[in-house]
Structure formats: C-alpha cells, structure tokens
C-alpha cells in the first residue's frame, strides 16, 4: 500500500494534489495497482501457488486479481460521488479518485483552483469539487471504465471453469 502513497505531488499533509501529469487513466491504474491491486493480485496468485497449479494459471490468477481490484476501486470511487456517500456535505475526500481525474482532464479552471491550495488542501472548498465532478461527464466515464474492468474480470474468471470459487467471485461482480 505504501508505494501508491508516494506518487505525484502532495500537500504538506500528504494529500495528493492533481497535476496535468497525473490525470491519465494510466496514472490512476498505477496508483490502484500499487495500492490494493497488488495485494489482491498477490492473494489470487498465492492461492494458485498453494494449490500447485501451473505457472499459466498462477499468472491468470494474478491478472484476475488486478482486474478485480480495478473494478472494485472504480466502483467505490464512483459511489463516493453519489448522494448516499455522505461526501456531499463538503467533507474532504481524496483527489486521486478516478472521477476527479477524468473530470479534471477537461476542466482546467477547476484544476487551477485545486492547485491554488497545494500548500494546504484542507483550506479548499471540497463541495465545489464534488459538485463539479458529480454533475459532469466523468461519472459516466467512470461507470464505463468500471464496466470494462468487470467484463475483463469475468472474461479472466471464465478461464478457470465452473468452480465454487469462480461462482462466488462472479456473484460479487
């Protein structure tokens, strides 16, 4: 988890400050993989290793873990920008989320506003960011990427055949 925390510009309290250099989906994927993605991937790989499956199945399990982690993270970050999340009150939230990154790719004014608080993001009006992101096209784009990672996970999962474990993961997706 710690590797993901050192990517990109941060304010003195360690909160990620979005920049033009880290707004790509690839940047988000890297952060996600270094965070929870590597843990889930290693867990899936470890199960196949313990079960003494061949390297090909171990690699497939590792890839499945990455895809699952990306699908779960994209979903969780999308939910942050719904009324049910509780973030609507203007409480601080991570600016390293997929919806924020996707929105800031097309909103240079909001990016500039955020960067104006790079010395202390706690002084920023998070409600302003929340309102812009939740009402913009980034939510649809986040949903589409989430579906892409779900479909990728299901495709990888199908290569394991009909097993209780595969059925359980499919129900989660």
Q: Which segments of the chain have a pLDDT < 70? A: 1-12, 37, 85-89
- Quote the pLDDT of residue 9: 62
- Quote the pLDDT of residue 4: 44
Cα–Cα separations (whole angstroms), residue 48 to 41, 109, 125, 128: 11, 48, 47, 46
- Quote the pLDDT of residue 111: 97
- Quote the pLDDT of residue 153: 94
- Quote the pLDDT of residue 8: 60
DSSP 57: H
The pTM of this model reads: 0.85
Closest of 89, 95, 87, 78 to residue 13, by C-alpha? 95
- In angstroms, the CA 163 to CA 168 distance is 9
- Quote the pLDDT of residue 1: 41
- Quote the pLDDT of residue 3: 46
- In angstroms, the CA 29 to CA 66 distance is 10
Cα–Cα separations (whole angstroms), residue 94 to 46, 48, 52, 91, 116: 31, 34, 40, 10, 16
- Quote the pLDDT of residue 170: 83
- Quote the pLDDT of residue 2: 47
pLDDT tens-digit series, residues 67-102: 999 999 999 999 999 877 666 667 889 999 999 999
Tokens of 52: 């003494």
């Amino acid at each position: 988890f710690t590797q993901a925390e050192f990517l990109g510009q941060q304010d003195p309290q360690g909160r990620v400050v979005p920049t033009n250099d880290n707004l790509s989906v690839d940047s988000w994927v890297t952060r996600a993989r270094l965070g929870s993605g590597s843990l889930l991937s290693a867990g899936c790989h470890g199960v196949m290793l313990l079960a003494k499956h061949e390297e090909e199945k171990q690699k497939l399990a590792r890839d499945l873990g990455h895809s699952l982690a990306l699908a779960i993270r994209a979903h969780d970050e999308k939910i942050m920008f719904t009324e049910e999340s509780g973030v609507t009150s203007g409480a601080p939230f991570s600016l390293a989320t997929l919806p924020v990154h996707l929105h800031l790719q097309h909103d240079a004014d909001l990016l500039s506003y955020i960067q104006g608080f790079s010395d202390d993001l706690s002084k920023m009006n998070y409600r302003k960011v929340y309102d812009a992101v939740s009402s913009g096209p980034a939510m649809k784009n986040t949903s589409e990427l989430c579906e892409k990672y779900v479909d990728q996970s299901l495709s990888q999962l199908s290569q394991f055949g009909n097993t209780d474990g595969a059925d359980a993961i499919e129900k989660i997706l």
